[in-house]
Amino acid sequence: MKASTPESIQVVRRDVRFDLDTADLRSWHPAGLHVAHFFNALSIFFPEGEKFFIDSVRHYREQIASPTLKCDVKGFIGQEAMHSREHRRYNAALERLGLPIAELEGRVKDYLETVRERTDPREQLAVTIALEHFTAIMAHTVLSDERLLQDADRHLAAIWRWHAVEETEHKAVAYDVYREVAGEGTRAWIQRSVIMLLVTIDFWLRVFRYHFRLVRADGALGDVRGWWRLLRWLWLSPGGMRQLVRPWLSYFRRDFHPWQHDNSKHVTRWKAAYAESGLAPA
pLDDT over 90, % of the chain: 92
Q: Whole domain around residue 139: which residue ranges?
A: 33-277
Distance CA 134, CA 114 (A): 21
The answer to whether residue 181 is domain-embedded is yes
Query: Does residue 19 form part of some domain?
Result: no
pLDDT at 276 over 80: yes
For residues 203-231, give the mean pLDDT.
98
CATH at 221: 1.20.1260
Q: What is the reported pLDDT for 277?
A: 84
Taking only the tens place, the pLDDT of each residue in 44-96 is 999 999 999 999 999 999 999 999 999 999 999 999 999 999 999 999 999 99
Using DSSP, state whether 281 is helix, strand or coil. Answer: coil
220 neighbors 33 (Cβ within 8 angstroms): yes
Domain presence at residue 1: no
Can you give the pLDDT at residue 2? 62
Query: What is the chain's mean pLDDT, rounded?
Result: 96
Residue 122 pLDDT exceeds 90: yes
In a domain, 99, yes or no: yes
* Percentage of residues of the chain with pLDDT beyond 70: 99
| Number of domains comprising the chain | 1
State yes or no: pLDDT of 193 exceeds 90.
yes
154-169 and 67-95 helices cross at what angle (nearest 10)?
160
Query: 278: how many CB neighbours lie within 10 A of its CB?
Result: 7
Report the phi/psi class of residue 219: left, alpha or beta, with left for phi > 0 and alpha for psi in -120 to 50: left
pLDDT of residue 222: 98
Contact 220, 226 (CB under 8 A): yes
pLDDT at 251: 98
Residue 44 lies in a domain: yes
How many other C-beta atoms are found inside a 10 Å radius of the C-beta of residue 157?
Answer: 21
Per-residue buried b or exposed e for 116-140, using 16+ beta carbons within 10 Å of the residue's own CB: eeeeeebbbbbbbbbbbbbbbbbbb
Long-range Cβ contact pairs of 180-187 (< 8 A, separation 24 or more): 180/60, 180/63, 180/64, 180/65, 180/66, 180/69, 181/60, 181/63, 181/122, 181/125, 182/122, 182/125, 182/126
188 belongs to a structural domain: yes
On whether residue 18 sits in a domain, the answer given is: no
- Domain assignment present for residue 168? The answer is yes
